Amino acid sequence: MKDDVRARVDGLTGAGSIDGFRSEAARLPPGFTAVMFDVDLMNPFNDTFGHIEGDRALVRVAQALAAAVDPRALFRVGGDEFAVFVELTDWRTVARRAQAGVDGLRLPFRHAEVRLKHADHLTVSVGAVTCREGEDGRALLERLRDAVGHAKLGRPGGIHG
């Protein structure tokens, strides 16, 4: 495998890498939305089950997300963050389909403090922003993370955009 290809693929999940995301963001024409999927409560999951199980969970989440979107368009942009670019008009459909796929995994989550406030399995919160022509990938990620933060305000598993 060539180094440039390897640099554009996340070694754990097989999704595109953050470098690939940034490169794609710079080339997008107007009319696209960036959608971020943030795995809710991944740190307590890792604390409860360990990082090896956490990595296994991330792989399964990535597979569920890839099944809900064009897998070639899925990028891992942070430890428990994934993103995709979609046509402006259909991002909510993609978000709901992706959430349903992750919910369907029913990855058990039994952290006593969190279970009272949340489901008994891992979920994803979703944030979306309209891509700006020529926008730097770092700035786009910052806006996406803000949108995810708003999605999580009520409770994990929210959607904001």
**DSSP structure string for 77-137:** EETTEEEEEEEGGGHHHHHHHHHHHHHHH--B---HHHHTTS-SB--EEEEEEE--TT--H
pLDDT at 151: 85
pLDDT at 6: 47
- Per-residue confidence of the chain (161 residues) as pLDDT tens digits? 344 444 688 889 999 999 999 988 888 877 788 999 998 888 888 888 888 988 998 998 899 899 888 888 899 999 999 999 987 667 878 878 777 777 766 666 655 455 435 556 778 898 889 888 888 889 999 999 999 888 888 777 777 88
What global pTM score does this model have? Answer: 0.85
Query: What's CA 56's distance to the chain center, in Å?
Result: 15
pLDDT at 96: 80
Question: Please, how many CA atoms are within 13 Å of residue 77, restricted to the half-sphere of its CB?
Answer: 27
Q: Are 83 and 147 in contact (CB under 8 A)?
A: no
CATH of domain 3-160: 3.30.70.270
Whole-Å CA distances, 20 to 62, 66, 131: 16, 16, 16
